[in-house]
Amino acid sequence: MKLNQYSSIFWDFGGVITSSPFEAFKKFEIENDLPENFLRKVNSTNPQNNAWALLEQSKINQIEFNDLFFQESSELGFGVNGLKVLDLLEGDLRLGMVDIIKTLKKMDFIQACLTNNFIPDNDNQPDMMDLIKKTEVFNLFDFIFESKEIGLRKPDQAFYDYVLEKVDIPPEKIIFLDDLGINLKPAKAMGMTTIKVISESQAKEDLERILKIKF
Protein backbone atom coordinates (compact mmCIF):
# COMPACT_ATOMS: atom_id res chain seq x y z
CA MET A 1 0.00 0.00 0.00
CA LYS A 2 1.34 3.42 -0.92
CA LEU A 3 1.79 5.87 1.91
CA ASN A 4 2.63 9.13 0.11
CA GLN A 5 0.97 11.87 -1.95
CA TYR A 6 1.42 10.17 -5.33
CA SER A 7 -0.95 7.68 -6.92
CA SER A 8 0.40 7.31 -10.44
CA ILE A 9 3.66 6.86 -12.34
CA PHE A 10 3.93 7.79 -16.03
CA TRP A 11 6.75 6.17 -18.01
CA ASP A 12 8.32 7.11 -21.30
CA PHE A 13 9.34 4.04 -23.31
CA GLY A 14 12.51 4.47 -25.37
CA GLY A 15 15.37 5.75 -23.26
CA VAL A 16 13.58 4.92 -20.00
CA ILE A 17 12.20 1.38 -20.08
CA THR A 18 14.66 0.57 -22.86
CA SER A 19 18.20 1.81 -23.33
CA SER A 20 18.71 5.22 -24.90
CA PRO A 21 19.17 5.51 -28.69
CA PHE A 22 21.59 8.38 -28.19
CA GLU A 23 24.60 6.06 -27.98
CA ALA A 24 23.60 4.59 -31.34
CA PHE A 25 23.23 8.14 -32.67
CA LYS A 26 26.73 9.00 -31.45
CA LYS A 27 28.25 5.92 -33.11
CA PHE A 28 26.43 6.67 -36.37
CA GLU A 29 27.71 10.25 -36.35
CA ILE A 30 31.29 9.10 -35.87
CA GLU A 31 31.03 6.46 -38.60
CA ASN A 32 29.52 8.95 -41.05
CA ASP A 33 31.73 11.97 -40.26
CA LEU A 34 28.85 14.00 -38.87
CA PRO A 35 29.21 16.69 -36.19
CA GLU A 36 28.59 15.59 -32.62
CA ASN A 37 24.87 15.63 -31.72
CA PHE A 38 23.94 16.40 -35.33
CA LEU A 39 21.00 13.97 -35.37
CA ARG A 40 19.58 15.47 -32.20
CA LYS A 41 19.99 18.92 -33.75
CA VAL A 42 17.93 17.84 -36.78
CA ASN A 43 15.28 16.34 -34.50
CA SER A 44 15.02 19.50 -32.38
CA THR A 45 14.78 21.92 -35.31
CA ASN A 46 11.15 22.91 -36.00
CA PRO A 47 10.05 20.23 -33.49
CA GLN A 48 6.32 20.78 -33.94
CA ASN A 49 6.27 20.14 -37.68
CA ASN A 50 9.49 18.40 -38.69
CA ALA A 51 9.83 14.89 -40.13
CA TRP A 52 9.89 13.26 -36.70
CA ALA A 53 6.78 15.08 -35.53
CA LEU A 54 4.82 14.17 -38.65
CA LEU A 55 5.89 10.52 -38.56
CA GLU A 56 5.03 10.09 -34.90
CA GLN A 57 1.54 11.47 -35.51
CA SER A 58 1.01 9.11 -38.47
CA LYS A 59 0.77 12.08 -40.85
CA ILE A 60 3.49 10.70 -43.15
CA ASN A 61 4.86 7.22 -43.81
CA GLN A 62 8.48 6.16 -43.55
CA ILE A 63 9.26 6.77 -47.22
CA GLU A 64 7.99 10.32 -46.90
CA PHE A 65 9.92 10.63 -43.64
CA ASN A 66 13.12 9.55 -45.39
CA ASP A 67 12.75 12.25 -48.04
CA LEU A 68 11.83 14.97 -45.55
CA PHE A 69 14.54 14.03 -43.06
CA PHE A 70 17.14 14.10 -45.82
CA GLN A 71 15.93 17.57 -46.84
CA GLU A 72 15.95 18.87 -43.26
CA SER A 73 19.40 17.45 -42.49
CA SER A 74 20.75 18.82 -45.79
CA GLU A 75 19.56 22.29 -44.82
CA LEU A 76 21.65 21.93 -41.66
CA GLY A 77 24.73 20.95 -43.65
CA PHE A 78 24.71 17.16 -44.05
CA GLY A 79 22.14 15.07 -45.92
CA VAL A 80 21.29 11.94 -43.91
CA ASN A 81 19.22 8.92 -44.94
CA GLY A 82 16.22 8.95 -42.61
CA LEU A 83 15.56 5.21 -42.83
CA LYS A 84 19.06 4.50 -41.52
CA VAL A 85 18.33 6.73 -38.56
CA LEU A 86 15.10 4.87 -37.79
CA ASP A 87 17.14 1.66 -37.60
CA LEU A 88 19.03 3.17 -34.65
CA LEU A 89 15.98 3.43 -32.40
CA GLU A 90 15.63 -0.12 -31.11
CA GLY A 91 17.00 -0.44 -27.58
CA ASP A 92 17.49 -3.16 -24.98
CA LEU A 93 14.94 -3.69 -22.24
CA ARG A 94 16.14 -2.36 -18.90
CA LEU A 95 15.24 -5.20 -16.56
CA GLY A 96 15.88 -3.09 -13.49
CA MET A 97 13.21 -0.63 -14.59
CA VAL A 98 10.82 -3.50 -15.25
CA ASP A 99 11.38 -4.71 -11.68
CA ILE A 100 10.50 -1.23 -10.38
CA ILE A 101 7.31 -1.20 -12.44
CA LYS A 102 6.38 -4.60 -10.99
CA THR A 103 7.00 -3.38 -7.45
CA LEU A 104 4.90 -0.26 -7.98
CA LYS A 105 2.07 -2.34 -9.41
CA LYS A 106 2.05 -4.47 -6.26
CA MET A 107 1.81 -1.22 -4.30
CA ASP A 108 -1.33 -0.27 -6.28
CA PHE A 109 0.14 2.67 -8.19
CA ILE A 110 -1.66 3.46 -11.45
CA GLN A 111 0.95 3.27 -14.22
CA ALA A 112 0.88 4.51 -17.79
CA CYS A 113 3.33 4.32 -20.69
CA LEU A 114 3.51 7.51 -22.78
CA THR A 115 5.44 6.99 -26.00
CA ASN A 116 6.09 8.73 -29.29
CA ASN A 117 6.25 6.03 -31.95
CA PHE A 118 5.31 5.35 -35.57
CA ILE A 119 3.60 2.79 -37.78
CA PRO A 120 6.04 0.36 -39.47
CA ASP A 121 5.84 0.35 -43.25
CA ASN A 122 6.03 -3.40 -43.69
CA ASP A 123 5.50 -6.66 -41.83
CA ASN A 124 9.23 -7.42 -41.69
CA GLN A 125 10.16 -4.31 -39.73
CA PRO A 126 9.76 -4.69 -35.96
CA ASP A 127 7.50 -2.24 -34.19
CA MET A 128 8.99 -1.45 -30.78
CA MET A 129 5.66 -1.20 -28.99
CA ASP A 130 4.44 -4.42 -30.60
CA LEU A 131 7.60 -6.12 -29.37
CA ILE A 132 7.10 -4.90 -25.83
CA LYS A 133 3.46 -5.98 -25.89
CA LYS A 134 4.70 -9.54 -26.34
CA THR A 135 6.52 -9.37 -23.03
CA GLU A 136 5.26 -9.29 -19.47
CA VAL A 137 5.83 -5.53 -19.34
CA PHE A 138 2.70 -4.74 -21.33
CA ASN A 139 0.44 -6.25 -18.71
CA LEU A 140 1.96 -4.15 -15.97
CA PHE A 141 0.53 -0.89 -17.32
CA ASP A 142 -2.96 0.35 -16.65
CA PHE A 143 -2.78 2.66 -19.68
CA ILE A 144 -0.65 2.89 -22.83
CA PHE A 145 -0.68 6.05 -24.94
CA GLU A 146 1.02 5.78 -28.35
CA SER A 147 1.42 8.85 -30.55
CA LYS A 148 0.84 6.74 -33.67
CA GLU A 149 -2.58 5.71 -32.36
CA ILE A 150 -3.92 9.00 -31.01
CA GLY A 151 -2.38 11.39 -33.54
CA LEU A 152 -0.79 13.51 -30.79
CA ARG A 153 2.76 13.45 -29.48
CA LYS A 154 4.93 14.68 -26.67
CA PRO A 155 5.67 17.51 -25.99
CA ASP A 156 2.42 18.92 -27.45
CA GLN A 157 0.11 20.24 -24.76
CA ALA A 158 -2.81 18.45 -26.41
CA PHE A 159 -1.09 15.10 -25.79
CA TYR A 160 -0.94 15.66 -22.03
CA ASP A 161 -4.48 17.06 -21.93
CA TYR A 162 -5.67 13.90 -23.69
CA VAL A 163 -3.80 11.62 -21.30
CA LEU A 164 -5.04 13.35 -18.16
CA GLU A 165 -8.62 13.23 -19.40
CA LYS A 166 -8.35 9.48 -20.00
CA VAL A 167 -6.64 8.55 -16.72
CA ASP A 168 -8.72 11.00 -14.63
CA ILE A 169 -5.91 11.61 -12.15
CA PRO A 170 -4.86 15.07 -10.88
CA PRO A 171 -1.40 16.00 -12.21
CA GLU A 172 -0.19 16.69 -8.67
CA LYS A 173 -0.50 12.96 -7.94
CA ILE A 174 1.64 11.91 -10.94
CA ILE A 175 5.37 11.31 -11.33
CA PHE A 176 6.52 11.33 -14.98
CA LEU A 177 9.83 9.87 -16.17
CA ASP A 178 11.24 10.79 -19.59
CA ASP A 179 14.74 11.07 -21.01
CA LEU A 180 13.99 14.32 -22.84
CA GLY A 181 13.64 17.56 -20.96
CA ILE A 182 11.46 19.03 -23.71
CA ASN A 183 8.85 16.35 -22.95
CA LEU A 184 8.98 16.97 -19.21
CA LYS A 185 8.59 20.76 -19.33
CA PRO A 186 4.83 20.89 -20.15
CA ALA A 187 4.10 18.06 -17.72
CA LYS A 188 5.85 19.93 -14.93
CA ALA A 189 3.96 23.12 -15.80
CA MET A 190 0.72 21.19 -15.39
CA GLY A 191 1.71 20.13 -11.88
CA MET A 192 3.34 16.73 -12.37
CA THR A 193 6.55 15.82 -10.59
CA THR A 194 9.11 15.02 -13.28
CA ILE A 195 12.29 12.95 -13.49
CA LYS A 196 14.72 13.36 -16.37
CA VAL A 197 16.20 9.93 -16.93
CA ILE A 198 19.92 10.02 -17.59
CA SER A 199 20.65 6.48 -16.42
CA GLU A 200 18.82 3.56 -14.90
CA SER A 201 20.54 3.95 -11.54
CA GLN A 202 19.85 7.70 -11.41
CA ALA A 203 16.16 7.19 -12.22
CA LYS A 204 15.88 4.57 -9.49
CA GLU A 205 17.51 6.87 -6.94
CA ASP A 206 15.27 9.79 -7.87
CA LEU A 207 12.14 7.63 -7.58
CA GLU A 208 13.25 6.33 -4.21
CA ARG A 209 13.88 9.87 -2.99
CA ILE A 210 10.52 11.22 -4.16
CA LEU A 211 8.43 8.23 -3.07
CA LYS A 212 10.46 7.65 0.11
CA ILE A 213 10.68 3.92 -0.57
CA LYS A 214 13.50 1.54 -1.48
CA PHE A 215 13.39 -0.71 -4.55
Residue 135 has pLDDT above 60, yes or no: yes
CA atoms within 13 A of residue 183's CA, in its CB half-sphere: 23
Q: Give me the pLDDT at residue 122, please.
A: 64
Q: Is the separation of the CB atoms in 68 and 59 below 8 Å? A: no
* Mean pLDDT (whole number) for 126-137: 63
Residue 131 has pLDDT above 80, yes or no: no
Cα maximum dimension of the chain:
54
Q: Is the separation of the CB atoms in 165 and 150 below 8 Å? A: no
CA atoms within 13 A of residue 148's CA, in its CB half-sphere: 15
Confidence class of residue 142 from pLDDT cuts 50, 70 and 90? very high
Chain-centroid distance of CA 68 in Å reads 22
* Mean pLDDT (whole number) for 54-74: 97
* Spatial distance between the Cα atoms of 98 and 94, rounded to a whole number of angstroms: 7
Q: Is the separation of the CB atoms in 145 and 153 below 8 Å? A: no
Residue 133 has pLDDT above 70, yes or no: no
Q: Residue 31's CB: how many other CB atoms inside 10 A?
A: 8
Structural domains of the chain, with CATH: 8-19+93-211 (3.40.50.1000), 22-86 (no CATH)
* Spatial distance between the Cα atoms of 81 and 4, rounded to a whole number of angstroms: 48
